[in-house]
Amino acid sequence: MSIAKRSSRTGERVVVGALFACAVLSIAVTVGIVAVLVVDAVAFFRESSLFDFLTGTVWAPGQGSGEGGLYGVLPLINGTLMIGVGAIVVGLPLGVLTAIYLSEYASARIRGLLKPTLEILAGIPTVIVGYFALQFVTPSLLRPIFGEDQVFVFNAAAGSIAVGLMILPIIASISEDAMRSVPASLREAAFGLGSTKRQVSLRVVVPAALSGIAASVILAFSRAVGETMAVTIAAGNSPKMTLNYFTSIQTLTASIAQTVSGEASAGTVRYNALFALGLTLFAITLVMNLISARIVRRFRQVYS
Amino acid sequence: MTASASAEALAPSRLRRGATRSGARIFVDAAFSVLLFVGTIVGVVALATLLWTIVDDGWARLMADPAAFLSNYVSRLPARAGIKAALIGSAYLMVLTTLFCFPVGVGAAIYLEEFAPRNRVTNFVETNISNLAGVPSVVYGLLGLGIFARFLRMGPSLLAGALTLAVMSLPVIIVAAREAIRAVPESIRLGAYALGATKWQTVRRQVLPAALPGTLTGTILALSRAIGETAPLLVIGLPIVIFSLPNDLRDPVSALPLLIFDWTSRPQPAFAEAAAAASIVLLALLLAMNAVAIYLRNRYTIRW
């Protein structure tokens, strides 16, 4: 960088200034997000107490004793966690098996076919995955297995399966990267001691790549928490404190989608509640992304 | 001593009793290979089932009268409903989003790769961009609602929609452009400096042309994700029932994923078929965009 002439032309300085402005714009975006969420969330908490929001077990805008309704976020957190955990239960085993297969077993040709397939799966619009969950997963998969009377039309299980399919490529590709960055010398040492491919995979590669796998799972969980359309379509819109995966629930994101579809007008408690939910969602996903990024940075340092 | 200790850790029981249990070991190894293959294939089967469900549900509806389906506005009667406003709206959104985010994204990438000093500001900008990439799309919708639609009084317009999608795509484009710029070898820059070029002349005449295919590929992939997004557009309040095309940036506009969401949410089976037919059109659009991206990558990428 120091080899380049330090230009004294003003034109050149202007260009660099403009490029710097482009880079700094990203900070403006972050400031904008935080400002929008905080300003209206504060307006919300002026009318409805923060304590009630964080501890209330009923989410019923427009209902209850007060004119604004009941705004307890716990049912929505409950629904969000159900989808997050359900999606991990679906996506983690499939994703890790896929990663081991791609990293240790698959030939170059099969890898060349499988990786684009996973990219296609990752690229399907979420609204279409939602359609699939509602029109196929619930009626043709869940209901025949668990019984018509057990499984509601809108249910958390279908939402979890849909979101699980969406996060599968994330877990598979990040875990595969971690496994491939395990040095060949470790594998060769284990083979030299008479280990089979399975033993090398499970006792050398997977343990060595564990932090990368963990990072992928946290990132995938964060994506699952932020997913909106598939859960709005397939998992329903009834916020409740339940652990039954066959009933309808509501997530934080679905609640935001439902409120905006209902045309809440600006300035009302219900409209401001959107931003309190958005702030909650932003905080949860930010913390998980930061943890995931930190783990990834650490495992990169170990082997490079 | 240490070698045998680590060997014990790798395969403690197998080393001692390997020979007697080799039959069982062969069986377990084979079973594990099968498990890996099955786990991997589940994702592929799920993708195939999803695509088959969409085509099976929507093909007849789409092919009954493709011209009418593409050129009719929405209707209360599912048989008459078409996707004209949504399809053209999505096209307008895509073009405007590109105009907004491509120059800024590439500018930010050039600055970070070529000009940014290694200091805390640069570090902060980089961390900030990777965090923005993890923000849920519905939160970008709240940003668009709070800042573009309400604060800047754009309302639920083409302009507000495109700006929201552009802000959401920005971190993805920056990452893609940075990778493309980084792939240009240092020798090209040094050669230009040796001929007396300034830093900016080198970047503009040598680095950027070489990095263009990779940048375009990444941009198209980012846009294909933006065009399939529903949640941000739903949150800023873009209409679904609309009987005109936008003439102005401030006119309201609809989008294909919004229409699919609306039709999927309706109880009549005929609307579900229309949703599947519209999904086929959206998937075809995305497939075409991805094909262009892959073509650019294969045709123009320079191998150094």
pLDDT bin (cut points 50, 70, 90) of residue B34 is very high
Query: What pLDDT sits at residue B300?
Result: 79
CA distance A91 to chain B (A): 9
Our CA dihedral for B108, B110, B116, B122, rounded to 10 degrees, sits at 30
Residue of B6, B10, B165, B170 to mutate, interface with A, max A Cβ within 10 Å: B10
When CB atoms are compared, the residue of B37, B46, B198 closest to A12 is B198
Per-residue pLDDT averaged across A14-34, rounded? 93
Q: Which of B35, B37, B13 is nearest to B24 (CA)?
A: B13
Residue B253, pLDDT above cutoff 90 = yes
Q: Which two tokens stand for residue B229?
A: 């997004």
Give residue-wise pLDDT tens across range B41-72: 999 999 999 999 999 999 999 999 999 999 98
**CA–CA distance from A236 to each of A154, A239, A247, B38, B40 (Å)?**
5, 9, 9, 31, 30
When CB atoms are compared, the residue of A3, A33, A227 closest to B135 is A33
Query: What pLDDT sits at residue A11?
Result: 83
Evaluate whether residue B77 is within a structural domain.
no
Residue A64, pLDDT above cutoff 70 = no
C-beta atoms of A199 and B10 within 8 A: yes
Give residue-wise pLDDT tens across range B133-142: 999 999 999 9
Structural domain boundaries, residue B35: 2-64
User: What CATH architecture is A70-303?
Assistant: Orthogonal Bundle (1.10)
Does A204 lie at the interface with B, CB-CB under 8 angstroms?
yes
Judge if B124 and B205 occupy the same domain.
yes
Residue A63 region, left (φ>0) first, then alpha (ψ -120 to 50), else beta? Answer: beta
Give percent above pLDDT 90 in chain B: 71
Contacts of B112 in chain A (CB under 8 A): 23
CA distance A67 to chain B (A): 24
B162 against A5, higher pLDDT: B162
Judge if B130 and B40 occupy the same domain.
no
Per-residue pLDDT averaged across A181-201, rounded? 94
Per-residue pLDDT averaged across A130-141, rounded? 96
Q: Which of B115, B106, B122 is nearest to B198 (CA)?
A: B115
**Residue type, position B221, single letter:** L
Distance of CA B52 to the CA centre of its chain: 22
What residue in B sits closest to A134 (Cα-Cα)? B264
Per-residue pLDDT averaged across A4-27, rounded? 83
Give residue-wise pLDDT tens across range A215-263: 999 999 999 999 999 999 999 899 999 999 999 999 999 999 998 887 6
Does A44 lie at the interface with B, CB-CB under 8 angstroms?
no
CA distance B89 to chain A (A): 17
**CA–CA distance from A133 to each of A129, A142, A143, A158, B166 (Å)?**
6, 10, 12, 6, 29
Q: How far apart, in whole angstroms, are the C-alpha atoms of residue B205 and residue B202?
A: 6
A239 against A64, higher pLDDT: A239
Domain boundaries, chain A: 70-303
Residue B255, pLDDT above cutoff 60 = yes
Query: What pLDDT sits at residue A271?
Result: 87
Residue B16, pLDDT above cutoff 60 = no
Query: What pLDDT sits at residue A75?
Result: 95
Residue B162, pLDDT above cutoff 90 = yes
Cβ–Cβ under 8 Å, residues B278 and B260: yes
pLDDT bin (cut points 50, 70, 90) of residue B4 is very low
Judge if B285 and B200 occupy the same domain.
yes
Query: What pLDDT sits at residue B22?
Result: 75
Q: How far apart, in whole angstroms, are the C-alpha atoms of residue B278 and residue A136?
A: 17
The per-residue pLDDT of chain B, averaged, comes to 89
Per-residue pLDDT averaged across A130-136, rounded? 96
Judge if B173 and B209 occupy the same domain.
yes
CA distance B200 to chain A (A): 7
C-beta atoms of B43 and A94 within 8 A: yes
Residue B3, pLDDT above cutoff 90 = no
Evaluate whether residue B75 is within a structural domain.
no
pLDDT bin (cut points 50, 70, 90) of residue B2 is very low
Q: How far apart, in whole angstroms, are the C-alpha atoms of residue A292 and residue A214?
A: 8
Name the B residues in 173-232 with CB < 8 Å from any A CB: 174, 189-190, 193, 196, 198-200, 202, 221, 224-225, 228-231
Evaluate whether residue B70 is within a structural domain.
no
Query: What pLDDT sits at residue B288?
Result: 92
Query: What pLDDT sits at residue B301?
Result: 73
The per-residue pLDDT of chain A, averaged, comes to 90
Does B150 lie at the interface with A, CB-CB under 8 angstroms?
yes
Number of domains in chain B: 2
Give residue-wise pLDDT tens across range B216-232: 988 998 999 999 999 99
pLDDT bin (cut points 50, 70, 90) of residue B5 is very low
Per-residue pLDDT averaged across B279-285, rounded? 96
- CATH number of the domain to which B281 belongs: 1.10.3720.10
Name the A residues in 169-198 with CB < 8 Å from any B CB: 169, 172, 189-190, 193-198
Judge if B55 and B96 occupy the same domain.
no
Residue of A153, A227, A228 to mutate, interface with B, max B Cβ within 10 Å: A228
Query: What pLDDT sits at residue B293?
Result: 87
Q: Which two tokens stand for residue A255?
A: 């609640």
Judge if B53 and B87 occupy the same domain.
no
Q: How far apart, in whole angstroms, are the C-alpha atoms of residue A67 and residue A69?
A: 6
Evaluate whether residue B126 is within a structural domain.
yes
Judge if B176 and B286 occupy the same domain.
yes
Residue A102, pLDDT above cutoff 60 = yes
Contacts of B230 in chain A (CB under 8 A): 125-127, 228-229
Per-residue pLDDT averaged across B101-112, rounded? 95
Looking at residue B41, the DSSP 8-state letter turns out to be H
Query: What pLDDT sits at residue A70?
Result: 85
Evaluate whether residue B12 is within a structural domain.
yes
Residue B270, pLDDT above cutoff 80 = yes
Judge if B154 and B60 occupy the same domain.
no
Residue B13, pLDDT above cutoff 60 = no
Residue B261, pLDDT above cutoff 50 = yes
Judge if B37 and B99 occupy the same domain.
no
Query: What pLDDT sits at residue A12?
Result: 86
Buried residues in B200-214 as b, exposed as e (16+ CB within 10 A): bbbbeebbbebbbbb
pLDDT bin (cut points 50, 70, 90) of residue A67 is low
Query: What pLDDT sits at residue A7?
Result: 56
Evaluate whether residue B137 is within a structural domain.
yes
Using the 3D structure, point to which of B13, B35, B64 is the last residue of a domain. Answer: B64
What is the ipTM metric for this complex? 0.91
Per-residue pLDDT averaged across B290-303, rounded? 82
Q: How far apart, in whole angstroms, are the C-alpha atoms of residue A206 and residue A223?
A: 23
Query: What pLDDT sits at residue A4?
Result: 60
When CB atoms are compared, the residue of B25, B36, B54 closest to A105 is B36
